[in-house]
Amino acid sequence: MGKCPVCKKGTLRKGEIEEAMFGVSLGTFQAEICDRCGESFVDEDTMLEIEAEAKRRGIWGLGQKITIGKSGNSLVVRIPARLARFMGIEAGNEALIQPEGEKKLIVEIT
């Protein structure tokens, strides 16, 4: 058991973590967990398992950089087709959009 590379004070102990991506649970995986700060670390084989599960569930690569456009006086954010399919979003759906801080928008499909 080594020292935590994040907090430099805790000791890493073997345990299990619940891994999620984009709010979708990928399962429980073996990890080393800091007994002080709670940071967790997985080995390369486990990371490959997590990646494979995300790909199997169709969520690997859903996050992507886009360019904000302009339409009249408004700005336009396009939702990539793959993300829209994953979330079941269709033209004509209504959404609530609101800020969360100065650099983050929350879009909730209603």
What is the reported pLDDT for 72? Answer: 97
Structure tokens that stand for 69 in this block:
């456009």
pLDDT of residue 1 exceeding 90, the answer is no
What is the reported pLDDT for 70? Answer: 97
Report the sign of the C-alpha dihedral through residues 51, 21, 63, 110, in that order: positive
Secondary structure class of 51 (helix, strand, coil):
helix
What is the reported pLDDT for 26? Answer: 97
Q: pLDDT (tens digit, 9 = 90+) per residue, 39-98?
A: 999 999 999 999 999 999 999 999 999 999 999 999 999 999 999 999 999 999 999 999
Q: Is the pTM of this model over 0.75?
A: no
How many domains, in total, are found in the chain? 2
Domain that holds residue 103: 69-109
Q: Is residue 74 part of a domain?
A: yes
Query: What are the Cα distances from residue 25, in Å, to 18, 60, 75?
Result: 7, 13, 33
Report the sign of the C-alpha dihedral through residues 43, 25, 62, 56, in that order: positive
Q: Is residue 4 part of a domain?
A: no
